[in-house]
Amino acid sequence: MAEEVWVGTWRPHRPRGPIMALYSGPGPKYLIPPTTGFMKHTPTKLRAPAYSFRGAPMLLAENCSPGPRYSVNPKILRTGKDIGPAYSILGRYHTKTTLTPGPGDYFPEKSTKYVFDSAPSHSISARTKTFRVDSTPGPAAYVLPVEMGARTVGKTSQPSFSIKGRSKLGSFRDDLHKTPGPAAYRQTDVQLTKLKAPQYTMAARVEPPGDKTLKPGPGAHSPEKVTLTRPCAPVVTFGIKHSDYMTPLVVDVE
């Protein structure tokens, strides 16, 4: 008989019977029916009479018929359609047939293990997920307590020291009066109580006020194109120098 392994004060073993942890339930997903209102009231409580707030019913019109707006086929009589025999161009109707299995679809040689008794055999299949009986934790699921240090369980540990910063509460630096020191006050400016010395500022040059619009220069004017004091601007023409109707001056030279 193998030696039994104990994990602390607990010995791993299989449960003697099925427990609720082995079954997978839907969990708390059900809603308790309300005890107020009329719809979906809980059947375990008495429901008081309720009244509905509805408007007044609509008054029906005296004449609710649509009137003579239907176009009745003249070939339709009281006894049915009044026409002679006729032929229609339609396709042939398809009859739905149900496919039934034939003799070759059955395998009677495989029914031996279902009809006759057979020895137990093992199958190579995957593990089922709906019902697992081996869901108990194993030895590797537990962590044993430490045996060294200041946090041992079930044993006496030696005093140890921790490396921490100095606490401000209760030390020699603790200010019990909570009063400000000399460095907490700001030094008063001397120029507020005595004569103020001259100071110089590094500011930009002050420009005198004036008109900063752009003025036209001498090259922007064209005096040769002025027509306010003259009939027209001076122009250059390509004509003859003397008139043909003027008598030329003839000087006789002896």
Query: What's the first-to-final CA gap in the chain, in angstroms?
Result: 176
Q: Give 156-209 pLDDT, tens digit per residue.
A: 888 777 777 777 777 777 777 777 778 888 888 888 888 888 888 888 888 888
Q: Which amino acid is at 198?
A: P
pTM: 0.15
d(CA 185, CA 179): 12
pLDDT number for residue 192: 84
d(CA 23, CA 247): 144
Q: Give 67-101 pLDDT, tens digit per residue.
A: 666 777 878 888 888 877 777 787 877 777 778 88
Q: Residue 135: which of 23, 25, 5 has the closest Cα?
A: 23
- Determine the average pLDDT of the residues in 24-28: 66
C-alpha atoms less than 13 angstroms from C-alpha of 172 in its C-beta half-sphere: 0
Confidence of residue 223 (pLDDT cuts 50, 70, 90): confident
3-state secondary structure of 163: coil
Phi (first) and psi of residue 103, to 5 degrees? -65, -30
- Determine the average pLDDT of the residues in 14-33: 72
